[in-house]
Amino acid sequence: MSRPSVPAADSLIGVRHPVLSHGFVVLVDYMGNDAAVVQAARVSYGAGTRTVRDDRGLIRYLLRHGHTTPFEMVELKFLVRLPIYVARQWIRHRTASVNEYSARYSIVPDEYELPAASEVRRQSARNRQGRGEPLDLAVGESFRADLDRISREAYQAYEKALSQGVARETARMLLPVSYYTQWYWKINLHNLFHFLRLRLDPHAQEEIRQYAAVVATLARKVAPTCYEAFEEFQVMGMRLSARELRAIRALLEGKDPQAACQVAGLSLVREDGTPLRTGEGPEFLEKLSRIREVP
């Protein structure tokens, strides 16, 4: 039995794809492809019971109906270099095998991330863990200058501690989360799709979205038909709750969006009458806006 090979993916193995100032993503290896998903799905069909279905149609059926196990037959391994503050978000996805650069054994390189002044924005009023409206550019420049100074001073203190004999595992405490780490990250296609669905979302932090975009490009090369279905059903598609379905029915009956939300019990205002910025009602109106924008 020969190893499945995808020429478009093979040509990218070992290639560094730059991200941010000092980061990158490398496709180290992969196991399986679109055919592996089809093979895994069809192994459960006994003689005389197999349904004739083209591979693309089967993959789309599997993803559409949540049959995820066949997608676990494909695995991808990456080498990723990223700032520590991005790594701490990334590691929240606990469905991968990770082996990280150890600052206990090795000296941390003098590389840290400095965001563009335009990326230093206000705390979002809607997304409590994200950034929102732009700040005065002078504020962004001031923050950037402070971060640059603090990072340089921290590394000088780190080098001083090492020169005085302080253990590497202790000296690393001096370094801020703007410094870079790297790891090998191996994950199956099903869990990779979950990672991408969350980290390609506009609500995700900009930096991890940039990494996710590169990972997505590489995953598309390994399993293009699977990725096409994922993009259509999970990235560009949407799920509707029971209340949202009732609101859709009200829209079809001729009600305007606000009235449809009221009928369905999707609140748009607080008890004092002020508009809600977050919650099921505003999120439903956002979904309607997305539907209107579908080409």
Task: Summarize pLDDT for 11-44 with one digit per residue, the tens.
Answer: 999 999 999 999 999 999 999 999 999 989 887 6
Is the entire prediction scored with pTM above 0.85?
Answer: yes
Q: CB–CB of 84/20 below 8 Å? A: no
- CA atoms within a 13 Å half-sphere pointing along the CA-CB vector of 67: 15
239: annotated active-site residue: no
Given the residues 128, 149, 199, 220, the one annotated as active site: 199
Amino acid residing at 6? V
Cα gap 234→219, rounded to integer Å: 15
pLDDT per position as a tens digit, 168-180: 999 999 999 999 9
**Residue whose tokens read 């391994």:** 77
Specify the pLDDT at position 48: 43
Angle between helices 257-264 and 242-252 (to 10 degrees): 140
* DSSP code for 190: H
How far is residue 290's CA from residue 295's CA, in Å, rounded to a whole number?
A: 10
Position 49 scores a pLDDT of 42
CATH T-level topology, domain 7-105+180-235: Gyrase A; domain 2 (3.30.1360)
Q: What are the residue ranges in the chain where pLDDT is below 50?
A: 47-50, 52
The residue extents of the domains of the chain are 7-105+180-235, 117-174, 242-293
Torsion from C-alpha of 11, 14, 15, 16, nearest 10 degrees: 160
C-beta atoms surrounding 214 within 10 Å: 19
* Distance in angstroms (rounded) separating the CA atoms of residues 133 and 126: 11
Using alpha carbons only, give the angle 49, 5, 222 rounded to the nearest 5 degrees.
Answer: 85
DSSP 50: P
